Amino acid sequence: MYRLKDVKIRKNISDEEVLDVALKKSGISKNEVTFWKIYKKSIDARNKDDVHFVYTIDVELKDKQLCNGLLEVKEFSFPEIKNNRKSNLRPVIVGAGPAGLFAGLILARYGANPIIIEQGKTVTERKKDVEEFKKTGKLNINSNVQFGEGGAGTFSDGKLNTGISSPYCKFVLEEFVKFGAPKQILYVNKPHVGTDNLINVIQNMRNEIIKLGGTFLFNEKVTDFEFENNALKAIICSKRIETDTAILAIGHSSRDTFEKLYNIGINMEAKSFSVGARIEHKQELINKSQYGDKTKLDLPPAEYKLVYHAKDRTLYTFCMCPGGEVVASSSEEGTIVTNGMSNFARDGKNANSAILVGVNPEDFDGESPLRGMYFQKEIEEKAFEVGGGDYKAPVQRVEDFLNKKITTKFGNVKPTYLPGVKMADLHEILPKYITDTMEEGLKYFDSKLKGFADKDAILTGVETRSSSPVRILRDDNLMSNIKGIYPCGEGAGYAGGIMSAAVDGIKCALKILE
């Protein structure tokens, strides 16, 4: 396989025609190609007078002598693995998010017959609970945007871009496509599956795991653990499950489980995370700011990623959802939590993103490793109170936020959050060092992306669950201080998104098989 790079396309043409352009540039005849695929596709919009696509194409050639000095590339193949486990007990996975599902998939494929315990419902039943909460404000604390099959990422656009570098990233993308995700996630610069597609993908993954000998227990909450000689002996839910191996893929919002693990002696520490709000703009404003108004290309809804470094803090955009909506993401009664979501088409009127300020353990009162978790909850409860105590979210126009005034009417941007919103002043909810950094950063972002601080843009509070507030410590074998327990994924503090969580699940499964 040889790689044809930097193929610039300035008109709307088919993939086959893109190949023709790439071959012509490289001096290769089409009849010499036995196989080809798009390796990467991105948009170069740095010059608004010359917005264009940039492709990288991989080709197989009949004759290696035709490569003309091109880069030879090898396809990733999953390493050969043997199941060396001596135990007759089935491994247990706590949590059916991306970390738990990919761990379960690997263990099942290599004959380990995992048991996956999920406190929430199947993804289709969970979707009904999410919709019910949006319509009525009736919250199911075990089945919501945070909890249930698929994890929190299911209702956040299914973004698969990541900052980690791992050969398993390619494997995760290929598995998603195998289970029904759009093929373009294999090559677009910032792949996303879309919440609408993820629901089907997750069901197909579950069916594969079951077919291979795995078992799912839904609506089952782990309440305790049994240890003997500092080793895991059993997990307790509605029944006792004897096991010597458990992957804790519990997600970043499993607060009662964090408390249980701390109380039984699992080593953990407070870690840094981020707090802020969701910002909404008209998608057309973002498109114009990013692409200009001259291009005739059929371009996807535009995205952005921005960072502002203040004197002592950093503000950054996170989980940007083009053509999406702000979703109610509470998992505990009496709290307001927001997140962003898009379907695959990203065809909504508004764009939204979190704007977040980093916080660290020194910002939280006390010495407990759970003090960041309590800090999160305090802010969420304050947002619930300011929002009126009925799961309406506090919102504020950017102009009013910058002037520290309660919003009295909306402009051309209407909030998408359901079950509803209440006009408020976010300064009443968030600590001053956070709002000060947000104010500075909004003005800076506007200098980088015209219209970001548009007076009618909407801020919806609060976003507190960008990552886990704790890290459950583990050794080089990915095991905690209790033998047989493998802290895993985002909740354990070792991932930040679907892709990195899935990769960590794979790594933990491989350690167990070793």
DSSP-derived 3-state class of residue 513: helix
Fold match flag (2-72 vs 92-270+471-513): no
In whole angstroms, what is the distance from residue 424 CA to residue 475 CA? 46
Give strand pairing partners of 362: none
Q: Which CATH class is domain 2-72?
A: alpha beta
> What pLDDT shows up at residue 157?
81
Q: Supply the pLDDT for residue 236.
A: 98
* C-alpha angle 349-354-359 in degrees, rounded to nearest 5: 175
Amino acid code (one letter) for 138: K
Determine phi and psi for 474, rounding to 5 degrees.
Answer: -145, 160
User: What pLDDT sits at residue 58?
Assistant: 95
pLDDT of residue 95: 98
Specify the pLDDT at position 403.
Answer: 98
CATH no. for 92-270+471-513: 3.50.50.60
pLDDT string in tens for the chain (514-residue length): 899 999 999 999 999 999 999 999 988 999 999 999 999 999 999 999 999 999 999 999 988 776 777 888 888 888 888 999 999 999 999 999 999 999 999 999 999 999 999 999 999 999 999 999 999 999 999 999 999 999 998 988 889 988 898 989 999 999 999 999 999 999 999 999 998 999 999 999 999 999 999 999 999 999 999 999 999 999 999 999 999 999 999 999 999 999 999 999 999 999 999 999 999 999 999 999 999 999 999 999 999 999 999 999 999 999 999 999 999 999 999 999 999 999 999 999 999 999 999 999 999 999 999 999 999 999 999 999 999 999 999 999 999 999 999 999 999 999 999 999 999 999 999 999 999 999 999 999 999 999 999 999 999 999 999 999 999 999 999 999 999 999 999 999 999 999 999 999 999 999 999 9
Given this model, what pLDDT does residue 263 score? 96
pLDDT at res. 91:
98
As a whole number of angstroms, the distance between CA 83 and CA 64 comes to 38
- Which residues on neighbouring strands pair with residue 309, listed in sequence order? 314
Cβ atoms of residues 512 and 107 within 8 Å = yes
Rounded distance between C-alpha atoms, residue 171 and residue 214, angstroms = 20
Give me the sign of the Cα torsion angle 276, 133, 347, 15.
positive
Cβ-contact 420, 380 below 8 angstroms? no
What pTM was computed for the model?
Answer: 0.96
Please report, for the chain, the start and end positions of each structural domain, with discontinuous segments joined by +: 2-72, 92-270+471-513, 273-463
Query: What are the E-state strand segments in 244-283?
Result: 246-248, 268-270, 273-282
* Nearest residue to 261 (alpha-carbon basis) of 474, 34, 508: 474
Alpha carbon distance 329, 383 (integer Å): 13
